[in-house]
Structures are given as C-alpha cells and as structure tokens.
Amino acid sequence: MLLLACLLSGCGRGGEHWLRQAEKAEQAAQTAQLKADPEAANRAAEAARDAVTHLEALVAADKKGSANLRQLLRKAQLAERSAQEHAALAAEERERRDKLGGLKLRAFLKARTIVLTTVLPGMALAAEKAGARGTNQMTSLEQSLAAQAWSLAALLSHRPPLPDGQPDWPGVASVFRQWSTNPPIEFRAFLGLALALAVSDDFALAEFESVDSRSLSGTNALMIYHGGRALIYARQGWSRLATPEVEAFCRYAELSQGPVSGQQLLALFHAFLACDALEKLDFNRMDAEISQSVRSWPDNPVVVFLTGERLAANGEWEKAAVSLETKAAGTENEWIARRLAQRARDLRDGKGTAKALVLDSRFLAEMTAHYVAKASGQPGKKLEEAVTAAKEFGRSLVEKLPLLGSPENAGDVSPEKSPGSPEK
C-alpha cells in the first residue's frame, strides 16, 4: 500500500530529485529557525520527512539493490535529521522568548531592581554600622543583616578577615555598594540560584539571560556564565539550547581550578535530560541519557536516584523502594538518607503516585552540590556552602519581596525536615 501510494503521488521521480527536496527543506528549516519562525521550520522538517519517505519507497522497490540509491537515501536522512533539529531548536527558542516575556518574569525584574537598590545597600549600611559601633550596639535585625553580608562577601568575593580574625566591615560595605550598581557574574549566579531554590527556575533563567557575556572577562566568570545557562536550559528541557553552553563550559573548565570539571557538568547535563525524559515518560530516551551520564562521570551519584525513579515509573515500586533504601543506608549525609527513606515509604504506600525525587529541583541541586563537593575535595566545599547560603538568601528575599510570589516548589518539600531548616 505504501508503495502504491508513493507511486501515485510522484515516486516516479528519481532519487536525485528527492535528495534535492530534502536538502532544500533542510536549508528552509535553518532559515526559518534563524528568522524565529518555528511554524515554518516545522513545515520544512515535514517536507524533508516526505522526501525521505519517497526515497525509502524507491529503495524498497529497487530489485537491483542499487548502492547509489541507498547512498542518496542516507544523505537525505541526514538532511532530514538536520531539518528536525532546526525545527526543535526554533521551538525551544520560542519557549525561551515566551518565558522571558511573561508576567511572572516582569515581576521578577521589578523585584530584582529592589534587591539592587534597597536590599544590598541595606546590607552595606549594616556592615558600616558594625564597623563603626560594633555589633553589640546594633539591633537584632541589623546584626542579622551584617552577619549575612559578611558571610556572602567571604563566599563570593573571597573577602579575607582582618589580621585579628574580625570581619573587615568597611571592606564588606564597599563590596555590597559595588554589587548594588554593578553586580559581578558570581553574585548574579548566586542570586539566580537563590531564587531558583526559593521560588522558580524561571527567575534564574531571567537573571542569566540579562547578563551581557561581552562584559565578562576571565576563565572563571565565563565558566560560571556558560555552566549556569547549561543547567538552567537543561532543567527546562531545552537540550538543543543547552548543548553549546555545555561545550563552552567544558572548554573553560579545562583551564579553571574550579570545583566542577567539564566531564562532571556534562554528566549532570545528561542527568537533567534524563529527568526531562522521565517527566515525558520517554523511558528509552531516559535510559540513553542515564548511559551518557555514567559514561561522562562513572562515579556519578545522581544515577542511583534516576535508576530508582526509572523502576518506579515502570511500575516496579518494590524494587525501586529497595534500591532507594539501600542507597539511604550507604549515604553519609543524614538529610539525603531521610529523603530517600521517605521516598521509599511513599512508593510502597502510594505505588508510584508521589512525585519523583529527581523532579524536585531543590533536592537535585542540593544533592548535586553535596556530591560534587565530595568528589572535588576541599575546593568543592565552596559549592556546597553556596547552595546553603543561597537557600537562606532566597528565603529572606521571598519574605521581603511579595512581588516574587509564593514558592512554586512548596509541594516538593518532603515531610521530613529539609536541610538547613531549624530544629523544631
């Protein structure tokens, strides 16, 4: 039937014709993607698929088994795959534009202005008062702001204490005044992480997209910029947008002394893509991404959680629960063990209805920071400290800035005490 339909619709044309059609469609898809026209890119991809279908029918009808015809088919298939990639990239770019133009992100930009013009200068003022009066002469709120300012200055700008071990309060005040007018990429990445953990990944997207990469200098700044964009895009499921960012990060990571290697980020990139596949119940793609993640970083601990959720999604709840319990017993970190044990109970009680651990972005970010720190040794501790500080800073911003709204991930928090929260 396929052959008959093909003959009736023009398969009488030769293979060269259909190859030209596939290649023209590939060029049209690329042009449409560059013009930000996903509909036209999709039409071109469909035209490429149509050309390949005709060529496949010609090959099937060719009793002589012409090597030339098969070669034409292979070239047409490559053109079709390229057209499909351009169409998919056009769709991701539209999603990014739509998100950045949404009401939620416009509210974020207003809130961000308040952070730079009010919150940071307030922390600078608290640091100045601490230097002038001493912390004992300050209110509890001023003491808290000064302490947070000192902690962030030491973490993000490597501000050293004075020779007597006391905080360099004038230096801290100077740092925060500078950040309020010209925040460096280190603070912008930290702010994006804080808002992603406290409210929404979309806010981290807006922060990184507002960075002018031409203003960045130095390997570390470029590594933070490309690495942050790669992980944000991967969390959104935008694998085609994320790929060049991962490649750029890996180039700079080879030149950096930072806590995360290029191969580790590549492994985490594939782990995030596996999460995206799990959300879409695309288990074949999930398995392929897990394999890529292991190949990039053989000791990648995230794979344990992905594998457990793969079993749960497949209905093997008991196996998944046992797998997670085994990992819980082997982990040195108490909060991770609690989350794993709770997830195992959820699986047994609800038989897979509870939301997967790996789809909880806060859990995944915190767990990743912990294991990267462990794998990287002492330098990696900075990453773990940054995640903890970002959670606290994000919570305080949500309290101060109602414009940010309520946390989107509130339902993701397990019944157990979350890491960093006060004891009851």
DSSP 195-207: HHHHT-HHHHHHH
CB 217 within 8 A of CB 243: no
424 pLDDT band (50/70/90 cuts)?
very low
- Over residues 337-372, the pLDDT tens digits come to 777 778 778 877 876 666 777 666 667 666 766 666
Average pLDDT over residues 364-392: 64
Q: What is the largest CA-CA distance in the chain?
A: 94
370 vs 7: which has the higher pLDDT: 370
* Residue 144 exposed, middle or buried by CB count within 10 Å (0-12, 13-18, 19+): middle
What sign does the CA torsion over 312, 316, 319, 321 have? positive
CA-CA distance, 352 to 316, in Å (whole number)? 9
Cβ-Cβ contacts under 8 Å for 201 (sequence gap 6 or more): 232, 235, 236, 361
Would you say residue 175 has pLDDT above 50?
yes
Average pLDDT over residues 124-133: 92
201 pLDDT band (50/70/90 cuts)?
confident
Of the listed ranges 288-292, 295-299, 312-316, 377-381, the least confidently predicted one is 377-381
pLDDT above 70 covers a percentage of the chain that reads 79
Residue with tokens 């085609």: 240
Average pLDDT over residues 180-191: 89
All structural domains of the chain, each given as residue ranges with its CATH number in brackets, are 2-100 (no CATH), 103-181 (no CATH), 185-412 (1.25.40)
CA-CA distance, 197 to 194, in Å (whole number)? 5
Q: What is the mean pLDDT of the chain?
A: 79
CA-CA distance, 394 to 196, in Å (whole number)? 8
Lookup: tokens for 219: 């390997």
CB 256 within 8 A of CB 380: no
Amino acid in the structure at residue 101: G
- Over residues 18-73, the pLDDT tens digits come to 999 999 999 999 999 999 999 999 999 999 999 999 999 999 988 887 889 999 99
Cβ-Cβ contacts under 8 Å for 236 (sequence gap 6 or more): 95, 96, 99, 201, 205
Average pLDDT over residues 172-184: 92
- For the CA atoms of 387, 393, 398, 403, the dihedral, rounded to the nearest 10 degrees, stands at -100
405 pLDDT band (50/70/90 cuts)?
low
pTM to 2 decimals? 0.67
Phi, psi of 145 (to 5 degrees): -65, -45
169 pLDDT band (50/70/90 cuts)?
very high
DSSP 213: G
- Of 149-158, 272-281, 404-413, give the range with the top mean pLDDT: 149-158
